[in-house]
């Protein structure tokens, strides 16, 4: 379906609904590009919808657009920082070769009853932070192992709380056979640095350090796992094919890592994939070790370490990874665009970079 929308003083013809094979004549590539680049416009114009992956695939399969046009549109989508379109990889990534890792650490110690879940009696928090992300990612990737990490020192009645949490998940359609609840206290470096995980330490520092430690622990101890993925609970789920598209695999086989990113936003550690083969040692040397050292110095000086103590270390991690790639291959690596384009809430980056709730719902539909 074609619609005429007005942007300022300019009227633009766009395709707002799914194209049918019968509409082969008159397909306007510029209109498709407009829908790709301006995928956030749906909130402002009710008759405008971003180009969905299913619509794009249908046009390609039915020869509405040529393969060359399709490839050019994918390149354009990457450069326009569109999180919907992607280039399929020829490589099949098996579910046992990676894991999805979520984390929740309470700010203060919680006193929960024996029938409470990890969010106590707060059903909204339980849905938003545990149920929905696990269920959504499992619906897109049913065979992958999902690890949900928590700090047992921040909850009372750990055994009963985890049991209730699992029961609630199972009642709501989650397959528990692929979901593991893991204590961060099972990580040796956490136990060696307990002072950094006390309640008087800023919770976002604890969370960011725990993420780096979880990646290190999984890479060293989970047999067969090549790719470790840390995901914040509010990032929209995608399929394995989308998660490991060609651009992502190029990055993981190049410098060996990829951070989440959004339109008009820098790379963010709320979403990270590390390739064990290349990132294992540098994650430890350039992120974990100096972050712990600097945090302990701050505590000794009477300061409370913030999340920046960890996050700033990635500015050293990234150049080392690129340097290691150059030494390994003799070539500089130039990604088609920075980061892994994901659907982040605006709270991650600020209102002009992430997506509003309304935009997220529209974009999630366009993923199909």
pLDDT for 309-323, tens place per residue? 999 999 999 999 999
Token pair, residue 127, equals 């849905």
Is position 85 within any domain?
A: no
Say if residue 48 is in the same domain as residue 113: no
Q: What is the pLDDT of residue 285?
A: 97
Asked whether the beta carbons of 197 and 206 are under 8 A apart, the reply is yes
Which of 44, 79, 114 delimits the end of a domain? Answer: 79
How many CA atoms lie within 13 Å of 363's alpha carbon, on the beta-carbon side? Answer: 29
> How does 302-328 read in b/e, with b if 16+ C-beta sit within 10 Å?
eeebbbebbbebbeebbebbbebbeee
Residue 21 has pLDDT above 70, yes or no: no
Write phi, then psi, for 18 (nearest 5 degrees): -60, 135
Residue 20 has pLDDT above 80, yes or no: no
Say if residue 43 is in the same domain as residue 152: no
Q: What is the pLDDT of residue 41?
A: 67
Task: Strand 227-231: give its sheet, edge to edge.
Answer: 179-183, 145-150, 98-104, 227-231, 268-275, 257-261, 340-341
Is position 84 within any domain?
A: no
Domain count within the chain? 2
* Per-residue pLDDT band at 40 (split at 50, 70, 90): confident
Say if residue 209 is in the same domain as residue 357: yes
Region 106-117: what's the mean pLDDT? 91
Say if residue 28 is in the same domain as residue 172: no
Is position 90 within any domain?
A: no
Evaluated on CA atoms 342, 233, 223, 189, the torsion sign reads positive
- Tell me the average pLDDT of the chain: 89
Rounded Cα–Cα distance for residues 295 and 197 (Å)? 11
Q: What is the dihedral of CA 208, 209, 215, 218, to 10 degrees?
A: -130
Is position 16 within any domain?
A: yes
Q: What is the pLDDT of residue 267?
A: 80
224: left (phi over 0), alpha (psi -120 to 50) or beta: left
* Per-residue pLDDT band at 47 (split at 50, 70, 90): low
Q: What is the pLDDT of residue 17?
A: 47
Q: How many C-beta atoms lie closer than 10 Å to residue 356's C-beta?
A: 13
Is position 244 within any domain?
A: yes
CATH number at residue 310: 3.90.550
Say if residue 204 is in the same domain as residue 279: yes
Say if residue 56 is in the same domain as residue 139: no
Report strand pairing: 227-231 vs 98-104: parallel
Is position 341 within any domain?
A: yes
Predicted TM-score (pTM) of this structure: 0.89
**pLDDT cut 90: percent of the chain above it:** 77
Residue 263 has pLDDT above 80, yes or no: no
| Maximum C-alpha span of the chain | 71
Say if residue 127 is in the same domain as residue 45: no
Q: What is the pLDDT of residue 350?
A: 55
Q: Which domain holds residue 107?
A: 95-366
Write phi, then psi, for 144 (nearest 5 degrees): -85, 150
Region 233-244: what's the mean pLDDT? 96
Distance from the first to the final alpha carbon of the chain: 19
Q: What is the CA angle 168-170-171, rounded to 5?
A: 65
Is position 248 within any domain?
A: yes
Region 345-350: what's the mean pLDDT? 68
Say if residue 242 is in the same domain as residue 193: yes
Say if residue 207 is in the same domain as residue 267: yes
Say if residue 170 is in the same domain as residue 270: yes
- For residue 123, give every residue at least 6 positions away whose Cβ sits within 8 Å of its Cβ, in sequence order, or none: none
* Per-residue pLDDT band at 293 (split at 50, 70, 90): very high
Is position 163 within any domain?
A: yes
> How does 246-268 read in b/e, with b if 16+ C-beta sit within 10 Å?
ebbbbbbebbbbbbbbbbebebb
Region 81-93: what's the mean pLDDT? 95
Say if residue 324 is in the same domain as residue 258: yes
Say if residue 9 is in the same domain as residue 148: no
Q: What is the pLDDT of residue 32?
A: 94
Of residues 265 and 83, the one with the higher pLDDT is 83
Region 342-366: what's the mean pLDDT? 80
Q: What is the pLDDT of residue 49?
A: 80
* Per-residue pLDDT band at 326 (split at 50, 70, 90): very high
Which of 37, 52, 79 delimits the end of a domain? Answer: 79
Which of 79, 109, 142 delimits the end of a domain? Answer: 79
* Per-residue pLDDT band at 1 (split at 50, 70, 90): very low
Residue 76 has pLDDT above 60, yes or no: yes
Rounded Cα–Cα distance for residues 357 and 264 (Å)? 17
């Amino acid at each position: 379906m074609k619609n005429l929308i007005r942007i300022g003083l300019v009227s633009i013809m766009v395709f707002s609904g799914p194209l049918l094979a019968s509409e082969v004549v008159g397909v306007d590539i510029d209109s498709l590009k407009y829908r790709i680049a301006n995928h956030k416009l749906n909130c402002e114009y009710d008759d405008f919808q971003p180009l969905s992956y299913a619509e794009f695939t249908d046009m390609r399969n039915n020869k509405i657009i040529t393969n060359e046009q399709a490839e050019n549109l994918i390149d354009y989508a990457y450069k326009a920082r569109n999180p919907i379109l992607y280039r399929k990889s020829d490589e099949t990534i098996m579910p046992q070769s990676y894991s999805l890792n979520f984390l929740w650490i309470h700010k203060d110690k919680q006193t929960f009853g024996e029938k409470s879940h990890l969010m106590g009696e707060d059903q909204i928090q339980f849905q938003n932070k545990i149920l929905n992300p696990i269920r959504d990612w499992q619906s897109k990737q049913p065979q992958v192992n999902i690890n949900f990490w928590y700090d047992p020192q921040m909850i009372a009645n750990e055994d009963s709380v985890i049991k209730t949490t699992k029961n609630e998940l199972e009642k709501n359609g989650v397959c528990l056979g692929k979901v593991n609840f893991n204590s961060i206290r099972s990580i040796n470096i956490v136990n060696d640095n307990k002072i950094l995980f006390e309640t008087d330490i800023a919770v976002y520092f604890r969370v960011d350090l725990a993420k780096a430690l979880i990646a290190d622990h999984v890479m060293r101890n989970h047999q067969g796992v090549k790719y470790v993925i840390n995901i914040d609970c509010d990032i929209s789920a995608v399929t394995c094919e989308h998660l490991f598209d060609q651009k992502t695999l190029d990055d993981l086989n190049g410098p060996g890592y990829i951070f989440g990113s959004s339109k008009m936003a820098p790379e963010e550690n709320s979403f990270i994939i590390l390739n064990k083969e290349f990132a294992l040692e540098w994650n430890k040397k350039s992120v974990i070790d100096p972050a712990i050292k600097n945090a302990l110095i701050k505590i000794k000086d009477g300061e409370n370490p913030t999340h920046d103590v960890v996050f700033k270390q990635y500015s050293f991690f990234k150049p080392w990874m690129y340097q290691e790639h150059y030494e390994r291959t003799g070539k500089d690596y130039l990604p088609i665009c920075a980061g892994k384009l994901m659907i982040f809430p605006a709270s991650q980056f600020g209102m002009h970079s992430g997506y509003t709730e309304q935009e997220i719902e529209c974009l999630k539909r366009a993923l199909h």
